[in-house]
Amino acid sequence: MTSTETPHETLVRRFYDDAAVGGEGAGEAYTALMEEVWHHGDLAADRDGVSPLEAAVRMERQLMTIAGVGPGDHVLDFGSGPGGATVNMAEMTGATFVGVSNSESLSQRARRHAADRGLRNLARFATIGDLDYRDLALWPDASFDAVTFFESVCHLPDKAAFFRAAARTLKPGGRLVGLDWLQRPFGEHQSEEQIRAFIDPVCEHIRLAPGGLGTLEGYAELMRAAGLRVTHAVDAFPGEPCWGSTPPEDREAWLTYSGPSGDVFQRGKRALDAARGAGVFTVGWWAATRPATV
Ligand SMILES: C[S@@+](CC[C@H](N)C(=O)[O-])C[C@H]1O[C@@H](n2cnc3c(N)ncnc32)[C@H](O)[C@@H]1O
């Protein structure tokens, strides 16, 4: 990047910001289409035929259980967006959460949601600068019992820096758990070139970090390089296309969405569905521990 180029992170913020503050309106679009929870759900729950929201809650519960989060714990939820997942986790664990986003429009949405759910004291939301994820300098060493991320790290060009910062802010013995968008070989699409033919348009339209999505093992390696001990690295849709919580009956609503930047979201939906259909897109989740001594 030359000094005159806008950092990718700033483009991501503008993508999510409300149209009223000059953004592209992804916050408005996703809230209209998915309410306040924007991440994939648990596959078994999807198969049980529960709602996308309930499947997402089951995924959150599974990660909270693995992380051992409970009352009195303090948790950072990185990339909290509209806050639904953060508020759900605060409600199910009794822990205090600080949700972090670089979009103040999203943080405001999240604060309203926490207030509506009567959980303002357990779920608070902070807006950080576009590049602050690289050191999370607002928080001293060993601030948190757990750090979570739900489909947010995929936007970051410098994922290694984020995982180092997350490890630093965890208490010894603290847990990192998260879910994110990934690419993988699938069926006839085995080479990087074949995979990227589907994944690059997704990254472009949905403002994910350029250069392709990460991989399950790639994320685990970054966590290990940050000094964490990885206990789980799981493809949430193993051996099958990841349609996740996107029932076909929702497709029409996405493809006709006419709010601010409606064409952007329609193009994003088409690119993502093509990658889902080819099987080269999936989501994965991880759990890792900060060793007692580092
Ligand atoms: C797809 S949303 C996920 C929202 C929420 N975790 C959920 O699952 O419902 C991605 C989030 O990542 C945040 N994000 C992206 N880049 C960021 C950055 N550089 N710093 C802080 N947050 C960032 C966005 O602001 C947004 O809140």
Q: Is residue 45 part of a domain?
A: yes
Please give the Cα distance from 188 to 214 (Å, whole number).
Answer: 20
C-alpha distances out from residue 55 to 147, 167, 221, 261, Å: 21, 28, 28, 28
Indicate whether 169 belongs to any domain. yes
62: which 2 tokens?
């599974």
**Is pLDDT above 80 for 290?**
yes
Residue 193 maps to a domain: no
Q: 142 in a domain, yes or no?
A: yes
The CATH number that applies at residue 129 is 3.40.50.150
| Within a domain: 2 | no
Cα 270 to the center of its chain, rounded Å: 20
Number of domains in the chain: 1
Q: Which domain holds residue 124?
A: 8-184+206-239+282-289
* Residue 252 covered by a domain: no
Query: Is 104 within a domain?
Result: yes
pLDDT 10s digits, 148-203: 999 999 999 999 999 999 999 999 999 999 999 999 999 999 999 999 999 999 99
Report how far ligand 1's centroid is from the alpha carbon of 103 (Å): 8
* Residue 3: pLDDT band with limits 50, 70, 90: low
Residue nearest to atom 25 of ligand 1 (CA): 101
* pLDDT at res. 162: 98
Q: Which of 102, 108, 152, 283 to mutate to test the pocket of ligand 1 (most atoms within 8 A of CB)?
A: 152
Q: Is 67 a domain residue?
A: yes
CA of 211 to the centre of ligand 1 (A): 19
- Sign of the dihedral through C-alpha 171, 172, 178, 183: positive
